[in-house]
A and B are shown apart, each in its own frame.
Chain A
C-alpha cells in the first residue's frame, strides 16, 4: 500500500527537508503534494485523497491551526491524520494543537528517526527503525 502525503509549510527548504526525510523513511509514497499555506492546502485537499497531512503552525495567510479548523468542518477531511510540524515548544500550544484535531506533532528541529517514528505510529509502518521494503514502484510528484 502506498500513501498520499501533503506537506504544508511556507518554507521551501523545510518542505524539501521533510520530503527527503519521508522518502528516506522507507514508506511507500504514492503522491507527495506541497502547499505553502493553509489556503493552498485546502485547494489540494478538495481535489485529492490524502492519507496524511504534515502542517506547519506559523504560516502567512492561513496558519496551521486555521487549516485544521477548516478540516474539522468537513466530514471527510476530519478523518485525515494531521501531524503539526512546529518550532513551538510551549506545552500549552501543543495541547491546543492536539485539542484542535492534530493527531501528533513534530518539533523542529527534528531528527529523521523522530519523524520516522511518528509516521510509523500513524501510517502503521514497520517498527524498531526498520525500513519498509522498497519495491521501486513509488510514484513521486514533485
Chain B
C-alpha cells in the first residue's frame, strides 16, 4: 500500500470525523510534537488486505474537552470512563473512514478499541515504517499513528 495514499486517507478521515461529530476544524503538521505530557492512548487492531493497528494519542486535557463537546456536558462533569469511551469511538470512526477513503470495495475487520494508557506522560514510540499524523486544532493537538504488519 502506497504510504502517501494512506496518509491522505488518514487525513481525510480525521477531518471528516472531527468536523462532522465534533464541529472541530483541523489542520495537520508533518512533524510530531515531542513534548512529554499526560496522554490518553487508545489502540485499535485491524486485519484485511493488510493488517496492523492505529494508535491515538490525545493530551489528557484535550481529551476531556473533546469528550465534553461530544456529550454536551460541562468539562467538570466528564468522567474518566467518558473520556476513554469517547477516545475509543474517535479511533473507531477514524479507522473505518480511513479504509473507506482508501478503497470502498475492500473489507477490513476492526477489532474492539482498547485504552492502553490514560494519564501518564508518553513519547511517541515508533519505527521509520510507522505513519504519524499530527492533528492541529485551534488550541491543541493530538497524534494518530498507524503501524502496518
Which residues of A does B touch, CB under 8 Å? 10-14, 16-17, 20, 58-60, 86-93, 107-111
- Chain A residue nearest to B109 (CB atoms) is A58
Which residues of B does A touch, CB under 8 Å? 16-17, 20-21, 67, 70-72, 81-82, 85-86, 88-89, 92-93, 95-97, 99-101, 104-108, 110, 112
Contact between A13 and B82 (Cβ–Cβ < 8 Å)? yes
- Chain A residue nearest to B22 (CB atoms) is A109
Q: Which of A58, A90, A110, A111 contacts B100 (CB 8 A)?
A: A90
Report Cα–Cα, A17/B73, bound state, in Å: 11
The secondary-structure label for the interface of chain B is helix
Contact between B99 and A90 (Cβ–Cβ < 8 Å)? yes
Given contacts A58-B92, A109-B93, contact A91 B104 (CB under 8 A): yes
Contact between A108 and B70 (Cβ–Cβ < 8 Å)? no
The distance from the CB of B77 to the nearest CB of chain A, in whole angstroms, is 13
Contacts of A20 in B (CB 8 A): 72
Contact between B17 and A109 (Cβ–Cβ < 8 Å)? yes
Report Cα–Cα, A110/B16, bound state, in Å: 9
